[in-house]
Amino acid sequence: MIGDDPLPRELAPGIFWLGGCLEQRFQGQTLHSYNSLYLVAGDDASLLVEAGHPQDSELVLAQLDELLQGGVAPLRYIFATHQETPHAGGVGALLRRYPDAELCGDVRDYHLFLPGLAERLRPLAPGERLDLGATEFVALDATIRDLASTRWGFDTRRRVLFCGDGFAYSHYHQAGHCGMVAEEVPELPVAEMTALFTELALYWTRFADIEPYIRRLDRVLDERAVRLVCPTHGLPITELGITMPAIRQGLRLGSEGGARAAAAHAAAHAGARDRASGSA
């Protein structure tokens, strides 16, 4: 975790962004990638999307305590999109801190590494819902995944899509992007950053036609009337019409050749990138 963390931040009434940044180096620059969690508050109960990386547990627990002590409904559910360490590594610490909470989602193998907590695992198949009070959290089949067990989620009242690794991209720490949503940093080359993550985390896209996945993603956004997209590793998206074209372009670039294609595309936008880096 790097520097001062501007989170938690309320993105919509009752939707809180938690977590912090991780540093990475790319083409001589210092980039940041979020390892985000999101608290979905209903009138009666709250649900936490993702459990975070173990190294972030102290920070996440402090952020959660701040929100829960401030009057947010009690934490009853934790929904990890998949078993990868950045998404599920903090499950044990969270279940121990909040003894009334259950881990939900595809929990097929969590009993193997959390044997003492097996009774608090709740399978949640795509289409199944959790009533939080005046809103429901719906488990979705993941459109873009890196594990067979990946699940996405959706909040029905605020129309929020939680998409795990589906919209992953970095941002510029030096330009003050940490804690901002995508539309607050228009100089960020989201397409190139998405292409980089697509190559690194979704390598299967190099061997598949990405277009059916993009069409399926668009259907999910339309059918659910999504207003807010909350990725685990990218900045939240509040204006889909502005940012989604860049996400689609990044997925295509990543599937066509990953970082090499992204670097070639970035050359056409070097001025914007240099301005962002130089504003520190």
Cis before 8 (ω within 30): yes
Query: Which residue is it, tokens 């590793």?
Result: 233
CB-neighbour burial class of residue 223 (10 A; exposed 0-12, middle 13-18, buried 19+): exposed
Phi and psi of 183, rounded to 5°? -75, -10
Residue 277 is predicted with a pLDDT of 52
Burial pattern 151-166, b for ≥16 Cβ within 10 A else e, equals bbbbbbbbebbbbbbb
Mean pLDDT of the chain: 88
Q: Which of 11, 9, 29, 28 has its CA nearest to residue 19?
A: 9
pTM tops 0.85, yes or no: yes
Q: What are the pLDDT digits (tens) for 19-64?
A: 988 777 766 777 788 889 999 999 999 999 999 988 889 999 999 9
What is each CA distance from 248 to 128, 187, 217, in whole angstroms?
28, 17, 10
pLDDT on residue 260: 55
Beta bridge partners of 129: 138
In the numeric block, the tokens 């999307």 are attached to 49
> What is the per-residue pLDDT for 200?
73
Q: Are 205 and 217 in contact (CB under 8 A)?
A: no
Top-level class of domain 9-278: alpha beta
